Structure 1
């Protein structure tokens, strides 16, 4: 029995080495890998289109793969005050924009100018008066703004939910990649990019199950 265990362990080790050398991560029968990533945790917001909700979780998997994505800022640090966008410009240390800085923050890595632009259009509960509006960056509002934005056909030139219902996940990711470059087809792919269609399908199963 001991020899059998040793042989099995050796085969697993060899498999791991070969997979890593080929650039692929082994599954070992875990069919949901690599969907078990931090960024795919459930949304805070309630309700909404399950196809869009699954897309939002997929975006997070590549943009803010963290146990606390709503408070994440570029570089891996976290903020505690989400009353507004943090507007912290953190130096970019890798990629095509190295040497610049970015204010990317939250579950969807909004830069401050994009957040204020989209919040003006989609934020459900801005505070203030007339031109002196304030837009909470708390989790439920990050979700609400992105859900409304992704549901806006005019914003994307297509009905994203309809495309997703037709199974055209790659087409949708391509359309969004100009905004979220880690989705692929651009200049800032990451280790999660190639797994996103499969992650989307898993997230959709979860979201459709909740919607029943």
Structure 2
């Protein structure tokens, strides 16, 4: 009986210590841990380039671009997955580092933070979100452990940002509509460096540009994968905007083509133009144009891409062109009697 009581007391003590370290942070860093902190590690996803790729494979390209944008502001270091507050590196990612480091500036100066990893997640936040979104977990007696390896940091944050119920908002949908400002404002309470006066830094004002840059990269990568699987599949590309009132997207989704939504460039002008690649047939161009015109969209120009611009040969793009805004709208009859479309149309 005494032995069982001792075992029970031991388990309770160990559980309490684990709980305390998880939610309060480890306050003491040993000499060995400091050596590990400043030593190089085996990961380098940056490869000398800005805004490094994610370690995770797959996922929504818009969410992936958002994650890279967040890390550009939160962990703009050569090895972001290993970064703790102040930018130094930790080598052991078998679990969250859980080191409480004193904040040296800003509204929380003097407090300590356990922020770590590419997304600078606090220990308590990491365990809460890992419990929901981590693809793998370890278990010992009464507590669970979650690997903090790079791909798992990505997986947890990707799941978190995609959770419409948690944010009470459709972040993937907002990004597809070009509403990055709204998304960054929504997330600024969690990642305070995203701007809006909480804890802005030198990167905050550049985040829209960073997002556009990495989104192009993510979409090109996902597009390349699509082309490899469907070498002869036509793709329709559209730039959503509020002034289209959802009409264009609704019409395009009725077509039997892959639809890709891009961040809006000309937001205050309704879609009025169609561009197409060299391997798109006139029949396919007319099908898209007729569908849009029949839905009430005022199409004013249909032209092949400029060959000087990089594009897919099997791409039809729908967007706004300020140069043709004063032209009369094309009718169904105008489109149907055309045997070809040129750059002069």
TM-score range, shorter chain: 0.7 to 0.9
Name 2:120's counterpart in structure 1: 109
The 3-state SS of whatever aligns with 1:40 is coil
Q: Which has the larger radius of gyration?
A: 2
The answer to whether the Cα contact below 8 Å between 1:64 and 1:109 also exists between their aligned partners in 2 is yes
Name 2:109's counterpart in structure 1: 98
Name 2:85's counterpart in structure 1: 74
Aligned mate of 2:201, from 179, 190, 195: 190
Q: CA deviation at 1:130?
A: 7.3
Unpaired runs of 5+ residues, structure 2, are 1-47, 224-345
Name 1:179's counterpart in structure 2: 190
Higher helix proportion: 1
- Cα distance in 2 between the residues matched to 1:39 and 1:199: 9
Please list the CA deviations of residues 37-75 of structure 1 after superposition, one character each: whole Å capped at 9, or x if unmatched.
966100000000000000000000000001100000001
Range with greater deviation from structure 2 (128-137 or 72-81): 128-137
Q: CA deviation at 1:132?
A: 2.0
Name 1:153's counterpart in structure 2: 164
1:211 aligns with 2:222: yes
Higher strand proportion: 2
1:168 aligns with 2:179: yes
Q: Could you list the runs of 4 or more consecutive aligned residues of structure 1 that deviate by over 4 angstroms after TM superposition?
A: none
Give TM-score scaled by structure 1 length. 0.80
Q: CA deviation at 1:185?
A: 1.1
Name 1:55's counterpart in structure 2: 66
Higher relative contact order (CA 8 A, sep 6+): 1
- Cα distance in 2 between the residues matched to 1:189 and 1:38: 23
RMSD after superposition: 1.3
Q: CA deviation at 1:77?
A: 1.2
- Cα distance in 1 between the residues matched to 2:217 and 2:195: 23
Name 2:153's counterpart in structure 1: 142
Unpaired runs of 5+ residues, structure 1, are 1-36
Range with greater deviation from structure 2 (37-46 or 111-120): 37-46
1:123 aligns with 2:128: no
The count of corresponding residues between Structure 1 and Structure 2 is 176
